[in-house]
């Protein structure tokens, strides 16, 4: 299972990672080696086996619906690289009309 450079470029795009050409080449080789190793899983017959997503019995517990104070806005914004008027500030995402 050898990944091509284009496949690695596509994975980096999905993962939102800007990678140098040299990194793409290295990851192509290293990820291929890991996937090759992992391919032994396909030799296991799992047609009758249910997947395990969690070792605990599946549950979706509900908590009591009680109004509680939430952390102050300034505290939650205190780690933001940029903030403005009590909000997280990001570069524009829409073209100026």
Q: With beta carbons less than 8 A apart as the criterion, state whether 25 and 12 touch.
A: no
- 3-state class of 77 per DSSP? helix
Distance of CA 76 to the CA centre of its chain: 22
Residue partners of 80: CB distance under 8 A and separation at least 6: 88, 89
What interhelical angle do 21-38 and 5-14 show, nearest 10?
100
For position 97 contacting another protein by CB under 8 A, the verdict is: no
Q: Could you give the string, one character per residue 66-95, with x where binding to another protein holds by CB under 8 A and - elsewhere?
A: -----x---xx-xxxxx-----x-xxxx--
Nearer to another protein, 6 or 17 (CB): 17
Q: Within positions 3 to 62, which residues make up the interface with another protein, using CB under 8 A? A: 3, 8, 11-12, 14-19, 23, 26-27, 30-31, 33-35, 37-38, 40-42, 44, 46, 49-56, 59-61
Could you list the residues that contact another protein (CB under 8 A)?
3, 8, 11-12, 14-19, 23, 26-27, 30-31, 33-35, 37-38, 40-42, 44, 46, 49-56, 59-61, 63, 71, 75-76, 78-82, 88, 90-93
């Amino acid at each position: 299972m050898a990944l091509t450079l284009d496949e690695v470029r596509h994975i980096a795009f999905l993962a939102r990672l800007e990678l140098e050409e040299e990194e793409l080449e290295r990851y192509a080789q290293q990820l291929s080696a890991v996937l090759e190793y992992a391919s032994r899983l396909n030799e296991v017959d799992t047609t009758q086996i249910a997947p395990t997503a969690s070792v605990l019995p599946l549950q979706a517990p509900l908590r009591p619906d009680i109004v509680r104070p939430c952390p102050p806005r300034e505290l939650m914004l205190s780690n933001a690289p940029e903030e403005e008027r009590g909000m997280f500030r990001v570069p524009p995402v829409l073209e100026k009309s």
